[in-house]
Structure 1
Amino acid sequence: GMPFSISAGVGFIALFGVAVLNGIVLIAEFNRLKASGLQNLKEIVLLGTTVRLRPVLMTAFVASLGFLPMAISNGAGAEVQRPLATVVIGGLMIATFLTLFVLPILYMMFEKIGKKPSLPILLLLGLGSFSAQAQTPITLEVAMDTALKNNLLVKNEQLIANYQKALTKTAKALPQATVTAELGQINSVYFDSKIGIGQSFSFPKVYQTQQNLLNAEWQRSVLAINVRETELRKQVSQVFYELVYLQEKRRLLQFADTLYTAFYKRAELRLAKGESNILEKATAETQLGQITTQLKQLQYDAEALQWQFQLLLNSTTLFQPTVTAYKISLTADQKLGLNDHPYLRWLRQQQQVAEASFQVEKARLLPNVSLLYTNGSIRGTGADNQLYTGFHRFQSVQLGLGIPIFAAAQKAQINSAKVQKLVAESNYAIGVQSLQSQFQTSQANYQKYLNTVAYFENTALANAQLIMSTANQQLYAGNINYLEWVLLINQATTVRNDYVEAIKNLNTALIQLQYVSSGK
């Protein structure tokens, strides 16, 4: 055996640098292919390893061959050189094997589970690093519950409702009491004193109408929460199924990418052997480039929708929508109608607010009442011919009515309240008409897209599968050329893509139909 020495330790340091460099070269190529739009992990690993095989082997062999004379030397200084060379040569052989065979397997494994391999593993195996951002699966029901709990707009409506509820206790607020004090020659040449306390208030009907108005405004704010929650459910459903649509679209593009990647390799090989012309290779390259571009655009669309989804849920977590079926179905217990729509209930409550405001303005024409209590002293001879020294106190109570003689301004307020009632009634009629129009339009769209999806499921998809399988069989049998195969595959792919688009339109129509109706 060979003992461990300082030169062997130096060899391990050099070995780690070269081994990690080879791993970084390979991982960088994998990430470049993934960034270019290629999504199939097997294709990424095979193509990346093929492209970077020569640089990895050259790096390992150059270092190994450079240390080979040191490893076999027997002259002076061989006891120092041989451990260094042996460690480097043996380590590079093992590290190269791990880089070319173990690294791709680990890359595929970590990409599938969406995690980043730990740094110690990368260093020990001589591998490069790569990142993959994990996403948390979430269902539509959980997403809606999260949004209703965390959304800032809903919280704001709840705060407004709490504010309106607190205001209901202010309906019977009275003005401040008036306290007076007098000292001087009130009754005669002698100094007397008088104190008084007064309070004014409105008729009880005024306070009752104010209470009704505040209660109506509180109920309106509570119904506004329901309106906001209904809109939020619609928005969450739309973004949720839009993300699901992008997932389905990505699967189709990845499948097409796999087909056309294999087609491109065959076309390139056939061109090299002289079995085809440049047109076949150019067609394959063009088709593959279009798919790559669409995958990139799809990624940007998904990122934008993901930000919108996080905003609705008020969460920093990246969620991945999870569904058992891409197509939404209208269940039998969902009754569609307009009478119980939260927006119509809010409009009806707005009419109640306008009526209560009108009653408040009418009640303000009633007279105000004022009470005044006084307590004073008298010095000298009173009206009863008695002599008073100022120690006796005399009391009185005064009652007053505030009559609105100049009531033109208040009557104008009453007239404006009447107009406001008419505005509320008009808004309700407009709201009913608008929802009815949306309901009829949504029903028509739903039926239209339902028939379209039924056609695809009953006929078109089966034909597309038949076209694709037959085209592959005919190609391998030599009955059709590659250009004819491309036309047939494009036709089958278009049918599948149109089916995904039709389901997207069906889901959108049903979400809108559920929103404008009382169905949940």
Structure 2
Amino acid sequence: YISYGGQFENLSHAKQRLSVAIPVALALIMLLLFFTFNSVKYALMIFTAVPLSAIGGIAALAIRGMPFSISAGVGFIALFGVAVLNGIVLISYYNTLKKEGGRDLHDLVEYGAMLRLRPVMMTALVASLGFLPMAISTSAGAEVQKPLATVVIGGLITSTLLTMIVLPILYIIFNSEWRILGLRIRFNAFLPLLALFFLGQGKAEAQTRLTLEEAVQLALQNNPEIRNASLRTEAVLAKKRAVFDPGLTEIRYQKGQINSALQDQYLEVNQQLGSLPEHIARISYVKHLASLSRSEEALTEARVTVEVKSLWFEWMDALLRMRMMQDYMQTAGRLQQVASIRYSTGEITLLEKTAIESEYMRLQSEYKEWKENSRQAANRIRQVLFLTDSLVPADTLLEMISPPESFSLAGDSSGRSVLMWYENSLKAKSAEVAIERARYFPSFFAGYFRQDIDQVHGFEGWQAGISFPLWFLPQSAKVKEMKINREIARNEYEYQKFAVRNTVENLTGELNKLAARIAYYRNGALQQADIMVRTAGLQYEKQEIGYLEYLQLLHTAMTIRLGYLDALKNYNQTAAQLEYYTR
């Protein structure tokens, strides 16, 4: 046989070593990614940068007309290690935003990609520019340097571009729930091929996105209290069939020596007919009871609607405060890092460094507090809506809602839902008094009898009668009790009319006060806060103000913005309460 030595032999041995070194390098990269994220899913997602970078490396060699060599193979090993850095930068920030909460999955990916575009580009450019002199080298050793640098630069270009497109899509796919063949599946990193295969049949089931109007409609459909109020109305309506209740039918049969020494037979049928005034009073009572139940149902719907709106405004306020504090906290964090460096060089005092650290710690504490407030508000909304799925707002805008139509406080407000219940309750109590009074009237009954005497048949006849109470004291006591209950209901109704008028008057005044405060923020204070932030940033960059002055100005601007959010939330909640009392 023929064997070749020299450079060819060295190339063959080097290729054998590369066939071992490259898989080992890839395995080590995968292992380190797993240790970094403690997740196979995220490790495999970032590892997709390896084939994406290999595309660019091979294309770059083809464009420059270079063959695959040992130098190019070493370049691929270096490329794979650098290419995954982009994925680490992106996925790490996605996970940080996910832990902070308050964002929909799609918004989180979009927001994170925008903020991490510059760091990803800088990571790729630093490595690419570092290899650029080697790629264009023409001096001694260029035949070794050029393939290595060409592979790294070409691979980083394609890896960076494709990573910013493919990786966000994969993050959404692997963190969403999908419905496939009727089954709900959350895809892990092991199932990407299965997800792509069934993509035409499956439908992504992300978190439930809701607007305020949709939340109110879901509450009216799902809330158990509203369902029970509706069922109570149906139960009252079912009583209409039992309004006319004449009483039991009595049948008696006798056989024996009744009227003679022989066997006699006697059959008697009696039917109670009751009292006509009592039947009429019962019809009126059931009618008022149905009205009372309907007003209770309307009142429950109104109360649940107000509760959903109030919780929704509280939720939006917490989310907006979280975002505002997050931005301010990032600025304070950068200032803290710079202050630590300058303190170590003796440029600032310990007091300045401590003040900045204290402000940063305060912001972290407040951010965690509002994050928990947001979670609790979302859970309370889910409870009212009777939903198990997690909720995400369709938007986090907090705008002024339209106040309800005003009505004359001195006019008749008996048509309001709040007062309708008390009015119908008074009518029902009055109907109860009428029922007890009707029992003073006599009750009627009718009957039929037939008998056989001494084996002679055909003795029959009809009978009718009347019964009335001779002893009036027990019934008088019942009537008096019902009258007292009616008087209590009347007093409650009159007091509620007075209380509702005062409550509406107070809420209207509070609404006007909050509207004036919102106008103050919109007409000047918010613009001043924006100017304050921009001017403070420019003066800080020019070193015209120090850390403490910069933080103080930012804190003042944030206080103004938070005051605006507080006024807006209180206005909307007050308007919702006013709607409850005036609908």
**What is the TM-score of this pair, normalised by structure 1?**
0.77
| Alignment-derived partner of residue 21 in structure 1 | 31
Of the three residues 378, 394, 399, the one matched with 1:306 is: 378
| Alignment-derived partner of residue 439 in structure 1 | 504
Is contact 1:227–1:342 with CA below 8 Å preserved after alignment?
yes
Q: Distance in 1 between matches of 2:192 and 2:268?
A: 91
Q: Distance in 2 between matches of 1:17 and 1:372?
A: 101
Point out the more displaced range, 401-410 or 269-278: 269-278
Is contact 1:245–1:500 with CA below 8 Å preserved after alignment?
yes
1:427 Cα shift? 1.1
| Alignment-derived partner of residue 170 in structure 1 | 242
Q: 1:9 to 1:364 in 2, by over 3 A?
A: farther
Give the partner amino acid of 1:334: E
| Alignment-derived partner of residue 455 in structure 1 | 520
Q: Distance in 2 between matches of 1:27 and 1:94?
A: 28
1:287 correspondence with 2:352: no
For 1:428-478, what per-residue CA distance to the aligned partner results, in whole angstroms no more than 9, with x for missing partners? Answer: 112112211211211121111111111111121122122221111212222
For 1:115-163, what per-residue CA distance to the aligned partner results, in whole angstroms no more than 9, with x for missing partners? Answer: 458504999xxxxxxxxx9643211111111110111100011111111
| Alignment-derived partner of residue 516 in structure 1 | 581
| Alignment-derived partner of residue 499 in structure 1 | 564
| Alignment-derived partner of residue 423 in structure 2 | 348
Q: Distance in 2 between matches of 1:502 and 1:114?
A: 40
Q: Distance in 2 between matches of 1:284 and 1:164?
A: 67
1:351 Cα shift? 1.5
> In structure 2, the residue corresponding to 1:483 is in which secondary structure?
helix
Is contact 1:450–1:506 with CA below 8 Å preserved after alignment?
yes
Give the partner amino acid of 2:333: T
| Alignment-derived partner of residue 261 in structure 1 | 333
Q: Distance in 1 between matches of 2:354 and 2:192?
A: 40
Is contact 1:202–1:369 with CA below 8 Å preserved after alignment?
yes
> In structure 2, the residue corresponding to 1:262 is in which secondary structure?
helix
For 1:7-30, what per-residue CA distance to the aligned partner results, in whole angstroms no more than 9, with x for missing partners? Answer: 999978755653333223444665
Give the partner amino acid of 2:253: A
Is contact 2:291–2:424 with CA below 8 Å preserved after alignment?
yes
Of the three residues 411, 418, 427, the one matched with 2:476 is: 411
Provide the identity percentage: 20
Q: 1:113 to 1:305 in 2, by over 3 A?
A: farther
1:252 Cα shift? 1.0
> In structure 2, the residue corresponding to 1:196 is in which secondary structure?
strand
Would you say how many aligned residue pairs link Structure 1 and Structure 2?
Answer: 459
| Alignment-derived partner of residue 218 in structure 1 | 290
Q: Distance in 2 between matches of 1:118 and 1:240?
A: 33
Is contact 2:518–2:568 with CA below 8 Å preserved after alignment?
yes
> In structure 2, the residue corresponding to 1:258 is in which secondary structure?
helix
Point out the more displaced range, 413-422 or 110-119: 110-119
1:374 correspondence with 2:449: yes
Q: 1:178 to 1:93 in 2, by over 3 A?
A: farther
| Alignment-derived partner of residue 181 in structure 2 | none
1:119 correspondence with 2:189: yes
Of the three residues 134, 140, 159, the one matched with 2:212 is: 140
> In structure 2, the residue corresponding to 1:172 is in which secondary structure?
coil
Q: Distance in 1 between matches of 2:272 and 2:173?
A: 76
Is contact 2:418–2:581 with CA below 8 Å preserved after alignment?
no
After TM superposition, list the pairs within 5 Å mapping 1:267-278 onto structure 2: 267-278=339-350
Q: 1:401 to 1:122 in 2, by over 3 A?
A: closer
Is contact 2:414–2:423 with CA below 8 Å preserved after alignment?
no
| Alignment-derived partner of residue 85 in structure 1 | none
| Alignment-derived partner of residue 474 in structure 1 | 539
1:238 Cα shift? 0.3
Q: Distance in 1 between matches of 2:226 and 2:93?
A: 45
Is contact 2:452–2:458 with CA below 8 Å preserved after alignment?
yes
Is contact 2:101–2:371 with CA below 8 Å preserved after alignment?
no
Give the partner amino acid of 1:464: A
Is contact 2:440–2:469 with CA below 8 Å preserved after alignment?
yes
1:393 correspondence with 2:455: no
Moved over 6 A (4+): 5-13, 42-49, 92-114
Q: 1:93 to 1:394 in 2, by over 3 A?
A: farther
Give the partner amino acid of 2:405: Q
Is contact 1:41–1:108 with CA below 8 Å preserved after alignment?
no
1:495 Cα shift? 1.2
After TM superposition, list the pairs within 5 Å mapping 1:67-82 onto structure 2: none
| Alignment-derived partner of residue 83 in structure 1 | none
1:193 correspondence with 2:268: no
| Alignment-derived partner of residue 335 in structure 1 | 406
Structure 2: segments with no counterpart, 5+ residues: 1-10, 39-91, 103-110, 121-151, 177-186, 194-204
1:45 Cα shift? 6.5
Is contact 1:195–1:374 with CA below 8 Å preserved after alignment?
yes
1:182 correspondence with 2:257: no
Q: Distance in 2 between matches of 1:402 and 1:438?
A: 53
Q: 1:48 to 1:404 in 2, by over 3 A?
A: farther
Q: Distance in 2 between matches of 1:298 and 1:449?
A: 23
Q: Distance in 2 between matches of 1:45 and 1:442?
A: 47
1:176 Cα shift? 2.1
After TM superposition, list the pairs within 5 Å mapping 1:200-211 onto structure 2: 200-211=272-283
> In structure 2, the residue corresponding to 1:119 is in which secondary structure?
coil
